[in-house]
Structure 1
């Protein structure tokens, strides 16, 4: 299984409440759905090469679509014999698409993301946008394996308007998406910096993928520098890196859920230090804390990380 498909299956495995589920489905259907009109009946075809994704999309549609749903499987005759799972919605499709704010009253696509209800709470609106972008990624996204040195994540669109809107939406959150026109048919939104790829995976709640991505990247960097470093204990270095990555993942969950304010000032500062110094030992962090006026021992640093870990567990899906 490719890394991109692994990411998509992790994203779709989350439990969505009704609002987040609608936002996710809007993002997925907008760029995956194929509207079919024939014999006086409206149909919407959705496809995926993943059984897990297909089953999850089927479950979301069953909750939100008031009509008939069919699911089928086709298989190519190539050596790989790939299967394609097809979900067909039959009934009042135009009405369903308008309910999801994918189509307007003239039955033309709405490019911008519009929550079903006017959400005034800024935190909740961010969550809806993250769910929407998760749906977009599962539909048209791709990301290179972290085992390669070519860091690359992209979203493919058939129209320039959609690509430009997604760039505008995501760059508001600190990303640096670029656009590329390919073969006069596709418009590619892409990022190449490793930190940007990692941050996007966090944005769509693919935390296990982030861990795998960062672990491969940092371990490779360590391996590339082994010959330049003398008298270094590689085993201890990797253990320190592994612990640092785990703590960065915990901190990312806390930050993504805007819960940093629940930590003490000292713990919040330790979070910043750990992100800036993923391979620092507890002794190094203790020294840095003391240098900046936070009196603490190595044991105190350990205790603060236990508090950080406990808080991050509240945001596990």
Structure 2
């Protein structure tokens, strides 16, 4: 168990945690699996004499109430809540939930297997689908954060225990969530970086309002990206058309200056004058104005005019500028 970590975006992360903290539960096993995730992520053991207690601290009032509710609803333990002022710049309140050391606490810890050396995956609380779901909810509540929907997609859960991080990943994999793991100093970070996976994770842990908000933003982003791609493609195609037309007109003027268009075969003369008449239209439009000549025929003649201009000494690089 480790201290609570800071979030990627505290405001939206708090919104998600507030939503999760208000989920009504009526399943004792699911409650205990959630409590397991919470305490493994952000709880601390307190030893007083021969007895053991629990300490949990957070700046989120709804989460503090959630932890208190889960403890008192499932175990006969004595709890205390202490509210202190954070030393951080924003000076938020910090809510400390204490489970007073007593023999009953050891019973709770044993049932949750928080002191087990066999690993969390062998915990009976994680032997069924719903337990895994609420376990992930608890892990996110205890040490998770998520970027605001309008920014890049990023969700992470931070723990100081590598084995626990691996447990989170394996539980997420049971929901087809491809989480990744990285480390930073003495912390291990389980993270998701694509919108679809984050939306699926929010659905798994029951954050349906946050899921819908993120889904809506993702749809708008995709639509905007598609429009931008279409505009960029259209602009690129238009630039090609304009560049080709400018080159062709330059070649025709060069031929006229250095040889005279009247010296060209009649077909090339017709195409040259057609291009000069319509200097900024596309090849397809030029075909329509040609009076029956096909696209390949027009294109062949324009290339021939370019070859003639080059043969007369024209430098195409200058024409493209």
Q: Does 1:212 align with 2:213?
A: yes
User: Aligned runs of 1:15-54 on 2, under 5 Å?
Assistant: 15-17=24-26, 18-54=28-64
Deviation, structure 1 residue 229: 6.4
Distance 1:113 1:54 in 2: 28
Deviation, structure 1 residue 199: 0.6
Relative to structure 2, which stretch is displaced further, 220-229 or 199-208? 220-229
Distance 2:166 2:200 in 1: 20
Deviation, structure 1 residue 42: 2.3
Deviation, structure 1 residue 166: 1.8
Q: Does 1:154 align with 2:174?
A: no
The alignment's TM-score, normalised by the length of structure 2, stands at 0.63
User: Aligned runs of 1:265-304 on 2, under 5 Å?
Assistant: none
Contact in 2 for aligned 1:102/1:109 (Cα 8 Å): no
- Encode CA deviations 1:116-155: one digit per residue, 9 max, x unaligned: 5x96xxxxx211210111011101111111110x211111
- Encode CA deviations 1:246-291: one digit per residue, 9 max, x unaligned: xxxxxxxxxxxxxxxxxxxxxxxxxxxxxxxxxxxxxxxxxxxxxx
The alignment's TM-score, normalised by the length of structure 1, stands at 0.64
Q: Does 1:102 align with 2:114?
A: yes
Aligned residues: 219
Contact in 2 for aligned 1:25/1:135 (Cα 8 Å): yes
Deviation, structure 1 residue 103: 2.4
Q: Specify which of 165, 170, 182 is matched with residue 168 of structure 1.
A: 170
Q: Which residue of 1 aligns with 2:190?
A: 189
Contact in 2 for aligned 1:101/1:115 (Cα 8 Å): no
Distance 1:39 1:167 in 2: 36
Contact in 2 for aligned 1:94/1:103 (Cα 8 Å): no
Contact in 2 for aligned 1:102/1:110 (Cα 8 Å): no
The verdict on how the C-alpha distance between 1:81 and 1:87 changes in structure 2, with shifts beyond 3 A counting, is same
Structural RMSD (CA): 2.1
Deviation, structure 1 residue 95: 2.1
Distance 2:129 2:203 in 1: 13
User: Aligned runs of 1:198-237 on 2, under 5 Å?
Assistant: 198-226=199-227
Q: Specify which of 120, 132, 152 is matched with residue 111 of structure 1.
A: 120
Distance 1:101 1:48 in 2: 23
Q: Specify which of 127, 137, 145 is matched with residue 140 of structure 2.
A: 137
Q: Which residue of 2 aligns with 1:86?
A: 96
Q: Which residue of 2 aligns with 1:303?
A: none
Q: Structure 1: 5+ residue runs without aligned partners? A: 120-124, 231-317
Helix, strand or coil at the partner of 1:2: helix
Deviation, structure 1 residue 25: 1.0
Q: Which residue of 2 aligns with 1:8?
A: 17
Distance 2:228 2:40 in 1: 50
Distance 1:137 1:109 in 2: 23
Contact in 2 for aligned 1:103/1:110 (Cα 8 Å): no
Helix, strand or coil at the partner of 2:150: coil
The verdict on how the C-alpha distance between 1:219 and 1:186 changes in structure 2, with shifts beyond 3 A counting, is same
